[in-house]
Amino acid sequence: MKSEWFETFFQGASAEFWTRIMTPAFTIPEVDLLARTLDVGPHSHILDVACGNGRHAIELARRGCKVTGVDLSDEFLARARAGSAGVVGLEWVKSDMRNVQISGPFDGAYCFGNSFGYLDYTGVRALFGALARALKPGAKLVLDTGVMAESILPALQPRGWYRAGDIVMLSERRYVAEGSRLDIDYTFIVSGNTETHATSSYVLTVAELTRLLDSAGFRVVSLNGGMTGEPFQLGSPRLILTAQLDGEPIRRIAD
């Protein structure tokens, strides 16, 4: 499978589906968490990779932050620009998140929505290296994913049906053990028309992710399994990880 499937996936029905299901009911609590964790203030400059349609960045900017959103999808970036009309403090950049070369340094960064899982080991190393170069010493990074090994493997469902308005989506999943990879075929049905797109996500353990962060100069300070701060454990539906770039003493948040 072409490893860069994500370069063309987020357009048309898929972009519309994800925009519909990620409502303010999801976005506001996530931005509340980001604001607390990244210690944002009125002069904070935050980096969002990959920003998608900008739902987090726009809300952070409304709270007074300056936010730079990076994404590869032209359609998502167009939606971000349209959705942020009249909101100040936003910059939208088309770029591969593995090679972020934009003005910094930033006061914090985040990567939500499984995005770093699209990358293999080499890609994740490149991403964390790019983030380390973009951040100020002591700045925090928040990662969010639902495809950690401890989350996805204990109860992997081979298929699932979902609906967002007039869009119906079928997700068919296969775990490829020799590649530590989750292959998912997404089929979108809209007004009788069907389109299927193949994707892959690489499945890491928490220990592997921690080592990759450590090699880039980050230290993990918390591992949570949800928005209320519960500890991450086997079977947690998602991982919300906070790490801090070397340069200032850090305090580990108690699990």
Cα separation, 88 vs 69, in Å, equals 13
Cα separation, 51 vs 62, in Å, equals 16
Place of tokens 């906070």: 242
pLDDT at 253: 42
Cα separation, 113 vs 130, in Å, equals 19
**Considering only CA atoms, which of 158, 177, 147 is closest in space to residue 241?**
147
CATH of domain 6-146+205-245: 3.40.50.150
pLDDT at 180: 95
CATH class for the region spanning 152-200: mainly beta
pLDDT at 104: 78
Q: What residues form DSSP beta bridges with 224?
A: 231, 240
Is 199 in contact with 6 (CB distance < 8 Å)? Answer: yes
Query: Domain map of the chain by residue range?
Result: 6-146+205-245, 152-200
Reported for 179-188, long-range contacts at CB under 8 A and 24+ positions apart, including other chains, are 180/149, 180/204, 182/147, 182/152, 182/156, 183/1, 186/14, 188/12, 188/13, 188/14, 188/17
**Considering only CA atoms, which of 67, 78, 63, 98 is closest in space to residue 19?**
78
Q: What residues form DSSP beta bridges with 133?
A: none
Q: CA dist 183 to 117, 130, 158, 170, Å?
A: 12, 26, 10, 13
Cα separation, 167 vs 232, in Å, equals 33
Indicate the residue type of 255. D
What would the two tokens of residue 112 be? 């939500």
Work out the end-to-end distance of the chain between its first and last CA atoms, rounded to an integer number of angstroms. 38
Residues of the chain with pLDDT under 70: 1-3, 248-255
